[in-house]
Structure 1
Amino acid sequence: MPLNRQAAYRHRRSLPNPDVDPDSWYQLQPTHITGTYVQQQDLNVVYTLHLAKPISYCRGTVIPCWLTIACEDTSALNIFSDPRSPRVRLRRFTRFFDNRTPDNYYRESAPPAMYLQVGAVGNMGTSLPPKIAWQLAQRRTLVRNANLGSGEVPALSFGDFDDQTDDPKALDPSDDDDEREIGSGAVWWIPQDLTQQPGLRKLMGELHLPRGLQPSCPFPLFNVLYRIELLAPRSHAFEPHLTSSLSSGKDGTTPLETHEEAEERRDHVYTSLTVEITTDMRSDEPRPIPSPNVYDESLNPRNIPCCL
């Protein structure tokens, strides 16, 4: 953790923003989102998201965020810079692999950084027998059933890798991918003592990490990945443009959207970054605390003052 950020936590001060301390923040590429404003005007808004370095965060803490919003239309900019408008979320991707998966699937389906920790065993999943993958699928079913009732989940024993049974079952990646949003997204507020510039707005924010969050796992057979994603702003006055299939028809009218198209427009990810979630902090670093501007009961179930 950068020293300036440590000092801010120890002295209960606001974190220095990227303009003051750029070395303590990781900047994602500026993201242009175009769309229709108030059903008649084409508009372009530029979001630049910063995340506190390093991009490794302990569960039960927070992920500090900084967002700059640029737009030439002042009225639209005021809407987009409302703390309730920006949409930044944390998503978890859980993947099970099998020995029928193509060799390049591992490299293409997850960021390369996740495999730097795996080393030479990066493709070990391609040499395991189908029985192992089938056992993983069976255990996953048992876990789900146990969560619904009071059953116990037996320990999974891989046994002898040479014990090839005649059971042909093996996991298919499409059956075992599990993606879900963690929490309710980032919370934002307008920084104090900050002069906003014309055509530009800046917001401070946080993503709150639950205490019981599963940590990141780069194991080839079982990946747990986390990504921070930027979506279109939350506004009834702005409709983002996405695909040509949603454009106007030959008669100049806009075709009615299907439920799937509306969902795609709402949940389209414009930019994302893979981050690491850990189980504990370094003992020589202060623990990140939620800002006094926001409060999340899941981070503080015993009603302990957030600044203690």
Structure 2
Amino acid sequence: MPASLSSSHGPAPGDMQLPPYHPRRRPRTAAAPHTSTSHSHPHSLTSTRAPTEHTIALDDGSVVLHLRSSARSAKSLPTYFEKESVVGALHVRAGRLEGVHGITATVTGRVHTGSRPEDALTFLSESVSLFARPPGPSRRVSVANIVRPSTSNGAHGRRPSTSAAAPLAGLPAGPAQESPSTTAIRTFPLCISLPREVALDGHRVKPPETFIEKRTAVSVQYELTVTLSRGMLRSDTQISTFIAYVPSTRPSAPSLVRQLAQEQHLPVPGPADDPQGWVTLAAGIIKGKVFKARKVELQCTLSLAKPLAYTRGSAMPVSITILSRDAQALDLLAAPAALSLRLRRRVRYWAAPSARPREVAWSEATEDVASATWWPDTTPAPGGVRRLAGEISLPRDLTPTGGVHTFSVSYAVVLFPFDAAGFVAKRPDAVLSEAVEITTMHHRGHGTHQHAPQPPAYGSRHARSASGGYEL
């Protein structure tokens, strides 16, 4: 097999600097609830913003890859959303084209669970041909076929001029003794459409979002590789870069009552005012002792706003009703600071067989990624009953629900026993749990006029190097 003569990667996983996103500040009062289910309006990409240019080059500058993406900065990892294509141009010094039979660009998506080849599952592979030499006797590249490199020609895919040209700006001109035919630059436009679904084992699913976290053994990575092929007994040349991918997922619309409240900037209607807009779970019982002496029992009924899918960077409305015959226990435990409701993420993946088969199995990594904030519900309640309203603010760096074959990300809202001084729960285990979905886009008709998925903020939950990039 032909060896790779030289290769160059773009930002490596340890140097990935993903674009920073800053949510809009919003007013908050300590005692009053918020007025909508999405209280922050994260910045969304629009079609009017100019694409970002990225440059990846071999060490000697003889091969340069230019890309355009939706990333915020040229220093960031090239970022592409669902329905977007990987667009750019390859610039090659003519001398590097000697003996090249073809040039192919390939985007691959893989799930990695280790460093061995068998630890990688390829779920996506899209290739396009940028150049194919016609059959027949080998010939040198004519100066007449060399084109002046141009960002517009390469990036926009227009047919380049056939006039002779000087080397690409920023590229080494080459040794003085080289002829113009070997130092001139040839440009090959590049455009790869990314599929909205991939098929594995008879199932079609959306490609998952790029996922790299230092504390999790599994990762999902996308890579663009351009190969200059020379055939048998000749060395190929490759240039490649990692890219980031963001799928488009959105919840269905909430109830009409809640939409009306959103439009009028009113508090979110609770289950009593909007019964069609909430899912009420079966009641859970919490038992324990107060001040190590008196046994108490409280019944908790949790409600979640419908639909059970929420956009990252927004807020999840929640409501809870607590019943008890012990008035003192209610005063102590049915308080905002005592409630413990969390959003739990589960990453599930399959590790490839190793030398010790007992270690081979589905692995899971769970983490509580957000907690609810509570305030007293103003709805009148009978004696022995307390009602509280609240929300879970969803971090903007949450990985959306999804997965492919041996990898999945899922979420659940979990209620735990009260956390208050003087109370000891009989069992510390979760009392209630309900699966929910995290999406990248708001529902259709949402007032943010969103044109693209909510990009992750890539905050503290992701492993980052000192330069702000990812670390594996």
TM-score (norm 1): 0.60
Displacement of 1:3: 0.9
User: Quick one: distance in 2 between partners of 1:241 and 1:75?
Assistant: 18
User: Which of the numbers 372, 376, 391 marks the counterpart of 1:190?
Assistant: 376
Distance 1:239 1:169 in 2: 42
Work out which of the residue numbers 59, 65, 70 in structure 1 matches 2:323: 70
Q: Tell me, yes or no, if structure 1 residue 281 matches structure 2 residue 442.
A: yes
Amino acid at match of 2:373: V
CA contact (8 A) 1:67 1:203 kept: yes
Deviation of residue 169 (structure 1)?
8.0
Aligned-residue offset at 1:218: 4.0
- Counterpart of 2:398 in structure 1: which amino acid? L
Query: Aligned partners of 1:179 and 1:25: how far apart in 2?
Result: 26
How far apart are 1:82 and its partner, in Å?
1.3
Following superposition of structure 1 onto structure 2, how do residues 261-300 of structure 1 map, counting pairs within 5 Å? Answer: 265=428, 268-286=429-447
* Equivalent residue runs for 1:135-150 within 5 Å: none
- Alignment map for 1:188-227 (pairs within 5 Å): 188-192=374-378, 194-227=379-412
Q: Distance in 2 between matches of 1:220 and 1:227?
A: 20
Kindly provide the amino acid, as one letter, of the partner of residue 213 in structure 1.
L
Q: CA deviation at 1:84?
A: 0.6
**CA–CA distance in structure 2, aligned partners of residues 28 and 17 of structure 1:** 14
1:276 deviation in Å?
0.5
The residue matched to 2:410 in structure 1 has which SS?
A: strand
Q: CA deviation at 1:191?
A: 2.6
CA, structure 1 residues 172+8, in 2 after alignment: closer, same or farther (shift >3 Å)?
Answer: farther
Cα shift at 1:55: 0.1
State whether residues 30 and 47 of structure 1, in contact with CA within 8 Å, keep that contact through their aligned partners in structure 2: yes
Counterpart Cα distance in 1 of 2:255 and 2:296: 38
Aligned residue runs from structure 1 range 40-189, under 5 A: 40-98=293-351, 133=352, 172-173=360-361, 176-183=363-370, 185-189=371-375
Deviation per residue, 1:141-164 (Å, 9 max, x gap) = xxxxxxxxxxxxxxxxxxxxxxxx
1:302 corresponds to = none
* CA-to-aligned-CA distance 1:132-191 (integer Å, 9 cap, x gap): x37xxxxxxxxxxxxxxxxxxxxxxxxxxxxxxxx75887346x31111103x1000013
* CA–CA separation in structure 2 for the residues paired with 1:168 and 1:240: 43
8 A Cα contact 1:6 1:286, kept in partner: no
**Unmatched segments (≥5 aa) in structure 2:** 1-253, 449-458, 460-472
Unaligned 5+ runs, structure 1: 99-132, 135-166, 243-264, 288-297, 299-308
Distance 1:5 1:46 in 2: 27
Q: Which amino acid aligns with 1:92?
A: R
Q: Is the 8 A contact 1:94 1:177 kept in 2?
A: yes
Query: What is aligned with 1:231?
Result: 416
CA distance in 2, matches of 1:41, 1:168: 54
In 2 relative to 1, CA 7–169 (structure 1 residues): closer, same or farther, beyond 3 Å? Answer: farther
Amino acid across the alignment from 2:364: D
TM-superposed CA distance for 1:11, in Å, is 0.7
TM-score by length of 2: 0.39
Structure whose residues are more often helix by fraction: 1
How much has 1:20 moved relative to structure 2?
1.6
Q: Distance in 2 between matches of 1:282 and 1:169?
A: 47
What are the superposed Cα offsets for residues 265-308 of structure 1, whole Å, 9 maximum, x if unpaired?
3xx11110110100111331346xxxxxxxxxx9xxxxxxxxxx
- Residue pair 1:97, 1:221 contacting (<8 A) in 2 also: yes
Selected match of 1:27 from 280, 284, 287: 280
- 1:237 aligned partner, one-letter code: G
Q: Which amino acid aligns with 2:279?
A: Y
CA distance in 2, matches of 1:67, 1:286: 28
Q: Which residue of 2 aligns with 1:291?
A: none
The letter for the 2-side match of 1:180 is E
Which AA in structure 1 matches 2:260? A
CA distance in 1, matches of 2:295, 2:446: 47
What is the alpha-carbon distance in structure 2 between the residues aligned to residue 201 and residue 24 of structure 1? 21
SS of equivalent residue, structure 2 residue 328: helix
Matches of 1:32 and 1:80, distance apart in 2: 13
Give the distance between the partners of 1:87 and 1:67, measured in 2 at CA: 11
Separation in 2, partners of 1:280, 1:21 = 24
The separation in 1 between residues aligned to 2:431 and 2:347, in whole angstroms, is 21
Tell me how large the CA RMSD over aligned residues is: 2.0
Which SS does the other structure have where 1:177 is aligned?
A: strand
Determine which structure has more spread, i.e. the larger CA radius of gyration: 2
